[in-house]
């Protein structure tokens, strides 16, 4: 006979005093309502229950629960309204539930919720407007949903510091209220291919320090980003329609890292030299034909990487002024080679050694003899003069 301090959960005998419970690969369409008797439960994982269609309303009786994960429940269609009664819940993860069609509005009652992850729920077309009531939320991850927009109430997430939005391929717009997230420090927008514009209100994110845009199809970046006084890192990945960056981007005096990969940029902002804090600049797979002379005015630049920019045919002579540059990398730029100033001033032998290390042992002679005639390559005058004097 079962003792009074034990509860039968679909054949599992669990003590009421149990604090952690994982329900794994249970082949039943429902979980027993007796689950609600585990009032001391702190952590609950429901994983790979492929036949589970719904959860019992008694889930709301788990008043001590702080962590809830629902993962890989392929037939789960709904969450119980009582989920809003989990007053102590701080972490909620709902992942790989492909037929889940809605999240109840009671979600907004979780006043202590700190982390929320809703991912790979391919039937989920909207998020509850009560999302904005989660005043304690600091981390939000939304991934692989069928949503077309975010609720405007998202602006109420005043404690949010990290926001990741990924693989929401039907998403077409972001609300202006996003600019109200004054505590936000990290914003990642990844592979939302139908999102064609970002709101200018992003310039109001006064605490933002990290911005990453990947597979973003817009033709422009909001000029308001220049107003971000805490931004230190920017990543622009695979933005095939982006042909230019706003000059206002060069007003970000705190920017230390700028990475641009797979964009249609034909040039960089003329005033890029105003980024006085920039330490690392990485440019790859872009349509650049030239680099601005102001690049040589970056007093803090230590690392410069340029690769696979096939249309780039010249380097600015001003690069010789980069006194703190200690890492200079050129990859697959067949039409020119420019050793850094520190190499150049060491003499012609050092220049040839540099070229040899970059798999171009003979190219310097070809460059010196025919580059100007072919109009394909350009070297700064100081290097031409040194080269000609040695041949």
Three-state helix/strand/coil letters over 324-388: CCCEEEEECCCCCCCCCHHHHCCCHHHHHHHHHHCCCCCHHHHHHHHHHHHCCCECCHHHHHHHH
What pLDDT band is residue 123 in, cutting at 50, 70 and 90?
Answer: very high
Tokens of 368: 């010196």
Q: Comparing 90-99, 286-295, 346-355, which segment has the lowest mean pLDDT?
A: 346-355
Structure tokens at 160: 């949010």
b/e string for 286-296 if b means 16 or more Cβ within 10 A? Answer: bebeebbebbb
List pLDDT tens digits, range 128-160. 999 999 999 999 999 999 999 999 999 999 999
Distance CA 259, CA 289 (A): 18
Neighbours of 129 (CB within 10 A): 15
> What is the pLDDT confidence band of residue 325, given thresholds at 50, 70 and 90?
confident
pLDDT category at 28 given cuts 50, 70, 90 is: confident
- Alpha carbon separation from 180 to 108, 147, 251, 341, 391 (Å, rounded): 18, 21, 21, 46, 63
Task: Find, among 215, 275, 223, 214, the residue nearest to 244 by Cα.
Answer: 223
* pLDDT band of 174, cuts 50, 70, 90: very high
Q: Tell me which DSSP letter residue 13 carries.
A: E
pLDDT, tens only, 273-322: 999 999 999 999 999 988 899 998 999 999 888 888 888 877 777 777 78
Domains, the chain, ranges and CATH? 1-124 (3.80.10.10), 233-333 (3.80.10.10), 336-391 (no CATH)
Query: Looking at residue 357, what is its pLDDT?
Result: 63
Per-residue burial over 245-273, b = 16 or more CB atoms within 10 Å of its CB, e = otherwise: beebbbbbeebbbbbbbbbebebbbeebb
Residue that has been written with the tokens 């709904």 in this structure: 78
If DSSP codes are grouped into helix, strand and coil, which group holds residue 285? coil
214-229 burial, b at 16+ Cβ within 10 Å, e below that, comes to bbbeeeebbebbbbbe
Record the tokens describing residue 227, joined without a space.
Answer: 């107003």
> What is the pLDDT at residue 323?
81
- Which is nearest to 308 in space by CA: 273, 341, 328, 282? 282
Do residues 208 and 234 touch, judged by C-beta distance below 8 A? Answer: no
Q: Where are the beta strands (DSSP E) in the chain?
A: 6-9, 12-15, 20-24, 43-47, 67-71, 91-95, 115-121, 139-145, 162-166, 186-190, 210-214, 233-239, 257-263, 280-284, 303-307, 327-331
* Cβ atoms of residues 250 and 228 within 8 Å: no
Question: In the prediction, which pLDDT does 246 show?
Answer: 95
Return d(Cα 73, Cα 82) in angstroms, integer.
19
């Amino acid at each position: 006979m079962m003792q009074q301090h034990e509860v039968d959960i679909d054949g599992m005998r669990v003590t009421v005093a149990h604090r952690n419970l994982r329900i794994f690969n249970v082949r039943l369409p429902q979980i027993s309502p007796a689950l609600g008797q585990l009032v001391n439960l702190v952590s609950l994982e429901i994983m790979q229950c492929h036949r589970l269609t719904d959860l019992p309303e008694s889930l709301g009786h788990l008043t001590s629960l702080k962590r809830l994960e629902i993962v890989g429940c392929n037939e789960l269609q709904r969450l119980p309204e009582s989920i809003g009664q989990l007053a102590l819940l701080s972490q909620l993860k709902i992942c790989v539930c492909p037929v889940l069609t809605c999240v109840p509005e009671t979600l907004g009652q979780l006043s202590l919720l700190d982390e929320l992850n809703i991912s790979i729920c391919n039937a989920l077309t909207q998020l509850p407007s009560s999302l904005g009531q989660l005043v304690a939320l600091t981390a939000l991850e939304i991934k692989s949903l069928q949503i077309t927009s975010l609720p405007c109430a998202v602006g109420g997430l005043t404690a949010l510091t990290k926001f990741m939005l990924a693989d929401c391929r039907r998403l077409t717009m972001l609300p202006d209220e996003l600019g109200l997230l004054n505590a936000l420090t990290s914003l990642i927008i990844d592979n939302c291919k139908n999102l064609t514009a970002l709101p200018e209100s992003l310039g109001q994110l006064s605490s933002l320090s990290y911005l990453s845009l990947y597979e973003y199809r817009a033709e422009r970046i909001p000029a308001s980003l220049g107003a971000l006084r805490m931004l230190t890192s920017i990543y622009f990945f695979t933005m095939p329609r982006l042909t230019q960056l706003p000059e206002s981007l060069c007003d970000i005096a705190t920017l230390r890292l700028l990475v641009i990969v797979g964009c249609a940029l034909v040039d960089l902002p003329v005033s890029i030299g105003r980024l006085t804090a920039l330490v690392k600049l990485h440019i790859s797979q872009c349509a650049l034909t030239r680099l601005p002379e102001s690049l040589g005015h970056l007093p803090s630049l230590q690392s410069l990487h340029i690769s696979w920019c096939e249309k780039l045919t010249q380097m600015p002579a001003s690069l010789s002024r980069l006194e703190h540059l200690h890492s200079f990398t050129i990859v697959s730029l067949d039409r020119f080679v420019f050793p850094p100033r520190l190499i150049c001033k060491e003499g012609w032998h050092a220049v040839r050694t540099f070229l040899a290390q970059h798999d171009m042992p003979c190219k310097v002679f070809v460059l010196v003899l025919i580059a100007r005639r072919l109009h394909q390559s350009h070297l700064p005058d100081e290097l031409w003069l040194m080269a000609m004097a040695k041949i």
